[in-house]
Structure 1
Amino acid sequence: MTWTQQFTPVGNSVIWSSLIALIPILYFFWALAIKRMKGYMAGVTTLLVALAVAILAYKMPASMAFMSASQGAVYGILPIGWIIITSVFLYKLTVKTGQFDIIRTSVVSITEDRRLQALLVAFSFGAFLEGAAGFGAPVAISAALLVGLGFNPLYAAGLCLLANTAPVAFGAIGIPITAMEGPTGVAAMEISKMVGRQLPFISVFIPLYLVFVMAGFKKTLEVLPAILVSGVSFALTQFVSSNFLGPELPDILSALVSLFALAIFLKFWKPKTTFRFQSEKAAHEVASASAEPRETQDQPAFTGAQIAKAWSPFLILTIFISIWGIPQIKTALTGHYEGANAFLSAINSIGHYLTFMPEVPWLNNLILNGSGEPIAAVYKLELLGAAGTAILLSAVVTKFIVNISWKDWFITFNETCKELALPLLTIMSVVAFAYVTNASGMSTTLGLLLAKTGALFPFFSPVLGWLGVFITGSDTSANLLFGNLQKITATSIGMDPLLALAANSSGGVTGKMISPQSIAVACAAVGLAGKESDLFRFTVKHSLFLLLIVCVLTFLQSNVLSWMIP
């Protein structure tokens, strides 16, 4: 028996149907921002609310609603949960073997200033990981690094989510952009050019905004030269690479240029004062007042070889996830390579046996979309091709570099899994909620409402992307979900459809920091399971502010700045 999605199930009205479709989203906001529920409780109850709305209001068969939730829960485990487990595990290995003490010292040797450390780790290094891997790894790893450096866990998670705004649209080797080409028929290179004429304005602003959130206006001005080096180098590289090379490399190139530019600049320039958090200042004053000598106040000296060894787990991680992101290799890892290369064919043979795509029972091809076409539903289990597997292999190589026994290696892995049990439940439930929302048609209902804004649609166009990423946790998914709707609506009102597609992706990046998935991932990485409501309250105002900037920019580009459209 098939079921056809109905996008206006309540009185055949988009407005009334949208109000009903908003119930799970508003409930989630209430659960975290006002009720301050623990993440797993907010996730599970939001899923139940979404199921109720899907079944009662949208008349979705209960079997289909629950099976779509199961599809989302499985995706929450693999690849998302798998990335979190392996990322935190790799970090814990460096801590347990004492290597992270050397990493901390090496960063401090560049700068002891917390503002500049945030730019180096959260902004530049996080953007590099976003470009190479995506799917939660950048926030998980960079936030864990900041905590190891001495940042408050909540602050570290929040700053990394905020910093991750700049690179998301070109994440994971440009997948969000290239994925939009299929359903819209617009060349990925053209979309890349337009996104590259929007996001650099955000990218150059993020370092300034990041430091302002940390330290306030006065302390931000103290490090303005460093902020400009970081932001301008990133934004210029992002513009040039997205407009002349394509969507695959902007993040990686921009991050590397920004990272090295700032590190070199800090060799010749230092801020007048060294910024530390209030808790650190208090501890520093107590230490200074002590009559006993404190040799530990001086940073121990490490050789270049020791520093290289300490950083090697993350260098190896970078190499592995970069390899995993290469399109031809990724195709082979998932058993879909059809070329003649002998090496890739060998990998393809292994990937074929480690890739499982079972159909979701009572769901696959049984839901018909608005055009009457069946929607495929499979459990996507790519064991070898998952980014988390690349990170696990990095941890295996790291075992030999840091000389930890297999016994301690497995004990650490077991400890990591136990610590992340509740965060994984949170991730599974919120991804399940996203799948129910999409399968029932609730997401499309909300998209249709925004599409009815007429002449104001250029302003509201980025809101569709923001909403899509909030629901799905992925700019790629949001682009697939609303890309065609953006194109059709833009054409009908006289807006350039290329601008609308770019706005969907650019608006989506501002929703990443409040996506339930992102919140759960960030809290899991820094050991704040159960504190998701605090992190959500920290990020939501910044998300809305940055979304407003993108909305205004898109509206201007549709009118007075139309010359910026390729």
Structure 2
Amino acid sequence: MYQQNPNPTGSLFLSALLALIPLVAVLVLLGGLKWKAHWAGLTALVLAIGVAMFGYSMPIGQALNSAAFGAATSVLVVLWITFNAIWIYNLTVHSGHFAVLRRSFSSISDDQRVQAIVIAFSFGALLEALAGGGGPVAICSVMLIALGVDPMKAVALALIADTAPVAFGGMGNPITVLNTVTGLPADTFGAMTGRQVPILALLVPFVLVFVVDGKRGLKQAWPAALVAGGSFAITQYLVSNFWSYKLCDIIAAIVSMLAVIVLARVWQPERSIPPVIAGGATTDSRRDVIMAFSPYAIIVVIFSVAQIVPVKKFLDSLTYKFLWPGMHLTNAAGKPIKVEYALNWASATGSLLFLSGLITMVLLGISARKGLEIYGQTIKQFSWAIVAILAVFSLSYVMNYSGQITTLGLWLAGTGAFFAFLSPVVGWFGVAITGTDAGSNALFGGLQVTAAQQLGTSPFLFGASNSSGGVMAKMISPQNLAIGTAAAGLVGREGDLFRKVFGWSLLLLLVTCVVAYLQSTPVLGWMVP
């Protein structure tokens, strides 16, 4: 039996420095030394195991078993989702309908700045709302590349855009996780998050325009950025606060996309960027357009049906849960930690995407043999990215079960009232480790609520801040970098991509930290439910 000790050195500051070693290693190896994501991830994993064994006195068997549990978890949480999302995309490429979809988007505007907003921000948000995982980054990157955007820039755009919708991604899964780990109402967490991330939604389209075309882009294409971000932000706030946090991103994405389409009918920016692919070069029939959008309509229908209470209960009843063998842990207070693996093969997001893919095959007239061949090609496409994802998830669970994560949280919570400013940073670190906002909320949700209670602050503010702050780390997490580079054919250049987006990650995180801090004071305290 291993009992966690969040302060193994006797000094919380020194213990925190010890726990930071694997995280700093990832950032330095990726951003500074330009290592490939899988080598950076594996190195950080080895360091985390070393810190667990020699710093926290965790038995080697428990440390290795924690890594194995993390790798197994990543299969359902990331790989199964991403494989199936990209498989659906590859099916549309094979059938020729992706080209129709591409032309449909390019027909809205032949200006790359507007295309980046519509595809990376609005359409990407819809994909994030439906499935989450790495699907939005991979699919939107490839779509932008097909429209003539430089591959590295295309992936950067997709990563930056995949921020504002992440807190409610996967049908609100990160918010649901907060409810699971804290026992507090999910709807209230959703409402509070809906009073933070819309600010990001308003800013992100402007960042995308700047990445595409710098200051000139902001000057010429700001109306499109304002309409897209403003419509998304307002809708996201209204739906999360007055309807359902599970549906807010879906509705916000559709409203944002329609708003830009309407704007494009009466306004177009000065075309200082020569169009790479003209929208009117080929005329597609209405049937072709409907067929091109049908895979995503199928996803919407499948996921909507899966949320119907009787259906959801039935799918959940098919989940097989078992205690992970060999994991005997207690927390610092001596309370046993339940290490349970939930094989939710029927209700998992990836499984629903797989079902959507099967229906898409039938609809697009693709044979079972060809569909299987395309699936094999999809897995092969990810190559070393699979190793990176497995390694980073293993890293996160070694750090979590050894007590390293708790050490960092307690150290930050010791800052008192200033923790309101640092609360989003905790979520940021969580997503940097796990690659998912839901994973970060699972790691730190309970810690945030405990810190709020100790400081006499709203637990909903800190819980929401964990989720809101975490979304900015999506663009720098090794597994998402690996997914993006794999989709764009840039495997091995994760370090270059990391440096391209790291500054934006910190800038948007700073905005969230300021908002969260002000919400803990009388200045914006009225925003807290």
Which of the five TM-score ranges fits, normalised by the shorter chain? over 0.9
Aligned 1:72-83 pairs, distance under 5 A: 72-83=70-81
- Larger displacement relative to structure 2 (481-490 or 453-462): 481-490
Deviation at 1:276, TM superposition (A): 4.9
CA distance in 2, matches of 1:387, 1:178: 14
Residue 562 (str. 1) matches residue 522 (str. 2): no
Counterpart pick for 1:305 among 263, 287, 305: 287
CA distance in 2, matches of 1:145, 1:374: 48
Residue 169 (str. 1) matches residue 167 (str. 2): yes
CA distance in 2, matches of 1:534, 1:92: 26
| Aligned-partner residue type, residue 501 of structure 1 | G
| Aligned-partner residue type, residue 397 of structure 2 | Y
Deviation string for 1:529-552 (max 9, x for gaps)?
A: 222222222221111111111111
CA 1:307–1:447 in structure 2 vs 1: closer, same or farther (change >3 Å)? same
CA contact (8 A) 1:143 1:156 kept: yes
CA distance in 2, matches of 1:158, 1:40: 19
CA 1:79–1:453 in structure 2 vs 1: closer, same or farther (change >3 Å)? closer
Deviation at 1:274, TM superposition (A): 5.2
CA distance in 2, matches of 1:219, 1:38: 32
Deviation at 1:326, TM superposition (A): 5.1
Deviation at 1:100, TM superposition (A): 2.0
- Larger displacement relative to structure 2 (88-97 or 487-496): 487-496
CA 1:31–1:501 in structure 2 vs 1: closer, same or farther (change >3 Å)? same
Supply the RMSD in Å over aligned alpha carbons: 2.1
CA contact (8 A) 1:127 1:164 kept: yes
Which residue pairs with 1:290 in the alignment?
none
CA distance in 2, matches of 1:511, 1:297: 34
Deviation at 1:298, TM superposition (A): 6.3
Deviation at 1:14, TM superposition (A): 0.8
CA distance in 1, matches of 2:149, 2:107: 17
Deviation at 1:328, TM superposition (A): 4.9
CA distance in 1, matches of 2:199, 2:413: 25
Which residue pairs with 2:135 in the alignment?
137
Which residue pairs with 1:36 in the alignment?
34
| Aligned-partner residue type, residue 397 of structure 1 | I
Deviation string for 1:142-173 (max 9, x for gaps)?
A: 22322333323322222112111101111222
Deviation string for 1:260-307 (max 9, x for gaps)?
A: 111122122111215359xx5xxx9xxxxxxxxxxx996021111122
CA contact (8 A) 1:8 1:445 kept: yes
Residue 222 (str. 1) matches residue 236 (str. 2): no
Counterpart pick for 2:97 among 96, 99, 112: 99
CA 1:88–1:480 in structure 2 vs 1: closer, same or farther (change >3 Å)? closer
Aligned 1:263-302 pairs, distance under 5 A: 263-273=261-271, 275-276=273-274, 299-302=281-284
Which residue pairs with 1:202 in the alignment?
200
- Larger displacement relative to structure 2 (450-459 or 484-493): 484-493
CA 1:508–1:551 in structure 2 vs 1: closer, same or farther (change >3 Å)? same
Residue 184 (str. 1) matches residue 188 (str. 2): no
SS at match of 1:44: helix
CA contact (8 A) 2:302 2:356 kept: yes
CA 1:207–1:394 in structure 2 vs 1: closer, same or farther (change >3 Å)? same
Aligned 1:303-342 pairs, distance under 5 A: 303-324=285-306, 328-334=310-316, 336=317
CA distance in 1, matches of 2:36, 2:174: 31
| Aligned-partner residue type, residue 345 of structure 2 | L
CA 1:298–1:256 in structure 2 vs 1: closer, same or farther (change >3 Å)? closer
CA distance in 2, matches of 1:16, 1:405: 60
Deviation at 1:55, TM superposition (A): 0.9
| Aligned-partner residue type, residue 81 of structure 1 | L
CA distance in 1, matches of 2:54, 2:309: 42
Deviation at 1:429, TM superposition (A): 0.9
CA distance in 2, matches of 1:88, 1:181: 30
SS at match of 1:270: coil
Deviation string for 1:390-435 (max 9, x for gaps)?
A: 2222332222333333333222222222222321111111111111
- Larger displacement relative to structure 2 (556-565 or 160-169): 556-565
CA contact (8 A) 1:133 1:325 kept: no
Which residue pairs with 2:388 in the alignment?
426
CA distance in 2, matches of 1:504, 1:519: 21
CA contact (8 A) 1:157 1:523 kept: yes
Which residue pairs with 1:507 in the alignment?
469
Which residue pairs with 2:8 in the alignment?
9
Which residue pairs with 2:241 in the alignment?
243
CA distance in 2, matches of 1:378, 1:24: 25
| Aligned-partner residue type, residue 114 of structure 2 | L
Deviation at 1:505, TM superposition (A): 1.6
Percent identity, aligned pairs only, is 41
CA distance in 1, matches of 2:223, 2:291: 32
| Aligned-partner residue type, residue 409 of structure 2 | G
Deviation at 1:325, TM superposition (A): 5.1
CA 1:193–1:378 in structure 2 vs 1: closer, same or farther (change >3 Å)? closer
Counterpart pick for 1:435 among 387, 392, 397: 397
Which residue pairs with 1:343 in the alignment?
none
| Aligned-partner residue type, residue 357 of structure 1 | K
CA distance in 2, matches of 1:399, 1:186: 41
TM-score, with length taken from structure 1: 0.88
| Aligned-partner residue type, residue 53 of structure 1 | V
Which residue pairs with 1:531 in the alignment?
493
Which residue pairs with 2:424 in the alignment?
462
CA contact (8 A) 2:6 2:404 kept: yes
CA distance in 2, matches of 1:417, 1:486: 37
For structure 2, list consecutive stretches of 5 or more residues without a partner in the other structure. none
- Larger displacement relative to structure 2 (12-21 or 305-314): 305-314
Counterpart pick for 2:356 among 389, 394, 400: 394
For structure 1, list consecutive stretches of 5 or more residues without a partner in the other structure. 285-295, 337-351
Residue 362 (str. 1) matches residue 344 (str. 2): no
| Aligned-partner residue type, residue 359 of structure 1 | L
Which residue pairs with 1:346 in the alignment?
none
| Aligned-partner residue type, residue 445 of structure 2 | G
- Larger displacement relative to structure 2 (318-327 or 138-147): 318-327
- Larger displacement relative to structure 2 (411-420 or 194-203): 411-420
Counterpart pick for 2:442 among 480, 484, 491: 480
Deviation string for 1:338-368 (max 9, x for gaps)?
A: xxxxxxxxxxxxxx3xx443432211xx111
CA 1:266–1:327 in structure 2 vs 1: closer, same or farther (change >3 Å)? farther
CA distance in 1, matches of 2:306, 2:41: 31
CA distance in 2, matches of 1:297, 1:434: 45
| Aligned-partner residue type, residue 108 of structure 2 | I
SS at match of 1:208: helix
CA contact (8 A) 1:71 1:378 kept: no
- Larger displacement relative to structure 2 (551-560 or 132-141): 132-141
- Larger displacement relative to structure 2 (181-190 or 158-167): 181-190
CA contact (8 A) 1:132 1:325 kept: no
TM-score, with length taken from structure 2: 0.94
| Aligned-partner residue type, residue 246 of structure 2 | E
CA contact (8 A) 1:132 1:322 kept: no
- Larger displacement relative to structure 2 (462-471 or 512-521): 512-521
Structure index of larger Rg: 1
CA 1:68–1:468 in structure 2 vs 1: closer, same or farther (change >3 Å)? same
SS at match of 1:385: coil
CA distance in 2, matches of 1:39, 1:325: 35
Deviation at 1:235, TM superposition (A): 0.7
CA distance in 2, matches of 1:31, 1:274: 38
| Aligned-partner residue type, residue 565 of structure 1 | V
- Larger displacement relative to structure 2 (117-126 or 84-93): 84-93
CA 1:184–1:389 in structure 2 vs 1: closer, same or farther (change >3 Å)? closer
Which residue pairs with 1:349 in the alignment?
none
Which residue pairs with 1:260 in the alignment?
258
CA contact (8 A) 1:172 1:325 kept: no
